[in-house]
Amino acid sequence: MIAHRQDLDQAILKAFKIANDTGRLDIADHLLHALECLCSDLGGGCLDEAYRIVCDASDSRHPKADRKGGRRKRPNGCS
């Protein structure tokens, strides 16, 4: 059962990356939600990787520096 879940979350992550890379953020949002549902009980590397992609994309879209520290601010939830 765990192996099937890992296959599924890998497939969803791959589709999420394609949707994100091609600008289909509406589809990427649905796929991220699917990963959240699938990984909610066990957590998971695929969900963490998807969140990293979202954070990295957010950084590249908002390159404004923080006036105090000179570093870009990350959105809530992004480390």
List the chain domain ranges.
2-61
The two three-digit tokens of residue 32, written as one number: 């991220």
> What pLDDT, on a 0 to 100 scale, did the predictor assign at position 18?
97
CA gap 36, 33 in Å, rounded: 5
- Model-level pTM? 0.68
> What number of CA atoms fall less than 13 Å from residue 24's CA on the CB side?
11
Chain centroid to CA 55: 7
| pLDDT tens, position by position, 8-62 | 999 999 999 999 999 999 999 999 999 999 887 666 689 999 999 999 887 776 5
Q: Compute the distance between CA of residue 54 and CA of residue 38 in angstroms, rounded to an integer.
A: 18
